[in-house]
Structure 1
């Protein structure tokens, strides 16, 4: 067990310090495999994109790639970024280039999004964060990009109180957390896992004190580092990391 934990700690350490060109790697946690991709918001461009106003088609990684090309940028990494209504409108907050396109959702309801506490992933100037929804509403941080989802996986170092260690609800899941050094860690499971195990990945293997669930039915990834391109995914929101094309 000690050797297993040491291996996870070394993997998390390499994620926290690795360059952008080697941002993704695979680790094992509680007998399951996960792809983890980490990026430094102080050095790398992390954005959130929603379906354009008036559009009826979902987002794809190719669509985001085309958006970036207009500004001579390319897609380094992509992950589905939250839940949406029919028509691909986000269920909760969406902030894009500093403009609030959809408001913060503090209502009660059914489904994972409303399994309180839920939360917000956001990117500001040179920093990123994951914050529980009510705390976000109170703090009102200045953000350039944000997406709301739920439930929170880890809040102040504690696992969501509704998660059951022996739950039989198994899905491929993806989420986002903040590493101890401020890097953003995106994770997706290779196979179906329960909420509790996924949350302990962020808390115990990666050392995140805050982490947010993104989805468990359309979990997808664009990560050339690990030869992953879920090009058939249809999404309402995409979290993307962009790089600049040479002139």
Structure 2
């Protein structure tokens, strides 16, 4: 069972801590960010150069002296899905387990990231849809931790149309069940503006990842290679990637699998997985 605790980095409440202790099975695990900036971080390994690097959907960039890895999922080239566990089994909890379970006939993986908050068993605590099957209903509950820093949001899609909405907007506007969906929080960018309770560059620093959708419908996944604040990640989405909406996926447990470069992060057990596959060509 994993132990963790979380800080909310907010403008109105500079420091808010929740208790930390063993989590009962099935209860949310709130990963805590210590506002002193001394929070534990998991350093992402350097990718090993291979001949396939040029085909990677991910590139290294720097934003305000923080190295980031930026991966792009393009509807014309990629298919996005969620994967939690083998049929009837327990959550994978790692990319290695996911890779081992994939069929040799499955489409090639362009990249994958952890995607959404989860409990001690690795199961999602918010809305979760896999292969058009809803495994967890939308959460509109209040509570502690980043997930409940309203508004939180949902990353979802069907076919080549991918979207991000706040949880309340999703509840009010989305009637048809998508092919995939995962709820996380908080939102980083909402309608082109930073989340109202996220500061520009607060004191908490962690390895973090998120996803945003640009005006052309591409999904931009970002994972930091060094500790950074909520606000800095949010501003990268708003100012550089120009995504009207962006969603925080997680922190301190953030991980990336990029087969093209041989990178497979795996030091911390993770939960729901966002898998971006190469789109198969139509039969000739």
TM-score range, shorter chain: 0.7 to 0.9
Out of 136, 143, 163, the position equivalent to 1:109 is 143
Out of 193, 210, 223, the position equivalent to 2:245 is 210
Out of 219-228 and 130-139, give the one that drifted further.
219-228
Q: Deviations over 1:117-154 (max 9, x none)?
A: 00000121221011110001111154100000000000
- Unaligned 5+ runs, structure 2: 1-53
Q: Residues 168-247 of structure 1: matches in 2 within 5 Å?
A: 168-243=203-278
Structure 1 runs (4+) greater than 6 angstroms displaced:
none
Q: Would the alpha carbon gap of residues 226 and 53 (structure 1) be closer, same or farther in structure 2, given more than 3 Å must change?
A: closer
Distance 1:201 1:166 in 2: 11
Q: Specify which structure has the higher proportion of strand.
A: 1
Q: Deviations over 1:191-218 (max 9, x none)?
A: 1101001000101010100000000120
Distance 1:166 1:212 in 2: 17
Q: Residues 82-161 of structure 1: matches in 2 within 5 Å?
A: 82-140=116-174, 141-161=176-196
- Unaligned 5+ runs, structure 1: 1-19
| CA-CA distance at 1:54 after TM superposition | 5.4
| CA-CA distance at 1:72 after TM superposition | 2.9
Distance 2:269 2:195 in 1: 28
Give the match's secondary structure for 1:73.
coil
Structure 1 equivalent of residue 31 of structure 2:
none
Instruction: Provide the TM-score with structure 1 as the length reference.
Output: 0.85
Give the match's secondary structure for 1:177.
strand
Give the match's secondary structure for 1:201.
helix
Count of aligned pairs between the two proteins:
227
| CA-CA distance at 1:65 after TM superposition | 2.0
| CA-CA distance at 1:167 after TM superposition | 1.5
Does the 8 Å contact 2:211/2:246 carry over to 1?
Answer: yes
Q: Residues 26-105 of structure 1: matches in 2 within 5 Å?
A: 26-52=60-86, 55-56=89-90, 58-69=92-103, 71-105=105-139
Give the match's secondary structure for 1:181.
coil
Q: Would the alpha carbon gap of residues 84 and 148 (structure 1) be closer, same or farther in structure 2, given more than 3 Å must change?
A: same
Distance 2:100 2:278 in 1: 13
Q: Specify which structure has the higher proportion of helix.
A: 1
| CA-CA distance at 1:243 after TM superposition | 3.5
Does the 8 Å contact 2:79/2:159 carry over to 1?
Answer: no
Instruction: Provide the TM-score with structure 2 as the length reference.
Output: 0.74
Distance 1:213 1:72 in 2: 29
